[in-house]
Structures are given as C-alpha cells and as structure tokens.
Amino acid sequence: MVERFAPGIGVRAATRMWFTVPPAMPRSLLPPPPRGRDAHLELDGRMLYSTVWGAGPPVYLVHGWGGRSEQLGGFVAPLVAAGHRVVAFDAPAHGASGPGRFGATSTIPEFASALHAAVLAHGRPHAVIAHSMGATATAFALREGVRPGRLVLLAPMGDPRAMLGAFADQLGLGTRVRAGLERSVQHRIGLPFEAFDVAATAGVVAVPPTLVVHDRGDREVASAESRTIAAAWPGSRLVLTEGLGHRKLLRDAGVLEDVVGFVRAPLRDHRGPA
C-alpha cells in the first residue's frame, strides 16, 4: 500500500530507521578495560566520550555501528604493554557520547570525523584498529587525510550500498521506496555510495599495510567483503577465523595475538597506487 499510494511516507520512515542508532550493549555486560584517563574530545561542539591508556605511538580503536569503545577493550592491555598509547572513543550518538548532527543518528562521515578529531588531539596514528562499520569509516578517513602507519580491519563492512539493499529486503520495500531511500540517504550524507566502497579506496589513496580479519560464519557482514578488500589492497593480509561470528573475534585470544603482533611489527616501505 505504501509503495503504491504513499511512497514518500515510506521513504521518510525507512530513512529514519536507517540512520537511527540502535541501543548499544550496556557497559556493565562487557569486560571492563583497564582504568584509563578521560580524554576531552569534541566534534563540532558536541562531546565525545573518549579514554586514553599508556604512552608512546598512538593506536586508535574504532567500534562499529551500534557499538561502543569498550567492545575493543581486549586490545588495550597488550598494546599498552607493547609501548603504545591507546585511544578509544564512542562515535556520535553511540555509547556515552553526545548526539550526532541530527540527534540520535549517525553516519559514516561522522564516524570518520570523530576519528579525525581524536587524531588531531593525540597525533598521527601508528595504527588504527577498526570493527565493522568503523572499518568502513576508517577507510573513508584515509580519503579525508588520516594517515595511519598500519591498519587492522575487523569484519569490515565493505559495501554500504549492498548493506542498504539488505536493509530494504529486510523491510520488504518495493521498487519506488527502495530507490527513494537510496536517494534520501545520499542526500543526507552529501556523497555517493561509491565514496564508501572500501575496496575501491586503494584506487584513490595509498593504503597502509593492512591486516583484515573476518569470521567465515559471520551472519551480519559476509566474509566475502573482506576477501574483496584484501584482493584490492596492495600488501594486505587476510585472516579468516571459524566460529567467532561478528563480535566474538574482538575478544578471541588468537585474534588479539595476531592483531597486536601485526601492530608491533617494524614498518616497512609500502607504496600504494600513485
């Protein structure tokens, strides 16, 4: 009925649902990271919850859509022990941070802007470790001038347009509402979907040495996304896990060891496309 008689209403409702941040897992249900230092961080006058641990070359942790910084807390202790300053934040409208530009909503560019604000406050990243849509935002941040020495993408969402298609399928949207939703999303963000294609980023900017980790059984983001990214990014390494799904890999001892070992390894000369 909406598809035929009121597609505009359907587009507005679907757009609101697409951008609205789902409730994050309560902090009390997550293993607490080591005690850190509160870091004052703002984005366009809005407060971002941020914590810093240790000292040394900075490593930034970027959570995913509907997540919070504590989900990557397992990386803190081993990175600090390896001589790094670790910086984590909750993205706009996530966790304990203030609202996004449009209230209880957020976007990939807002995630990327939050990372950029953290980098301005704490220095050029030795590394960024990013999960899910946080990985998408970090790849976009490369296009916007953030230059990590190395990068870890955990279960990255490589193609937001495909995710939008899956979202439309889940809602049972018809052709007119689906097309209107895509136009509406692009209008809100002010950029085409191609700007967020992670694999294509390697054709736009020089990408750093990158470790891509994904579980074969991930039901939220297919591991094929990581295969595509790893094939397109020069010098990247792909690790596929079993039985960890989309979030358990953030606490898996083997994944932690692999990621921290990659971050600690000496940097070598790495050149991407001109």
242 domain-assigned:
yes
Spatial neighbors of 21 by CB under 8 A, at least 6 apart, are 65, 66, 93, 94, 100, 104, 105, 106
84 domain-assigned:
yes
Q: pLDDT (tens digit, 9 = 90+) per residue, 157-193?
A: 998 888 888 888 888 888 888 888 889 988 888 888 8
In this model, does residue 126 exceed pLDDT 80? yes
274 domain-assigned:
no
CATH number, domain at 76? 3.40.50.1820
Q: Which residue has the higher pLDDT, 10 or 248?
A: 248
220 domain-assigned:
yes
Q: What is the model's pLDDT at position 268?
A: 59
273 domain-assigned:
no
Give start and end residues of each alpha helix (H) in 73-223: 76-81, 108-122, 133-143, 160-171, 175-189, 198-201
The residue range of the domain holding 149 is: 2-264
In this model, does residue 32 exceed pLDDT 50? yes
127 domain-assigned:
yes
CA dist 108 and 91 (Å) reads 10
Q: How many domains does the chain have?
A: 1
Q: What is the model's pLDDT at position 272?
A: 37
29 domain-assigned:
yes
Q: pLDDT (tens digit, 9 = 90+) per residue, 203-250?
A: 999 999 999 999 999 999 999 999 999 999 998 999 999 999 999 999
Residues β-bridged to residue 37:
52
- Report residue 191: phi and psi, to 5°: -145, 150
136 domain-assigned:
yes
Q: Residue 170's CB: how many other CB atoms inside 10 A?
A: 8
CA dist 131 and 103 (Å) reads 23
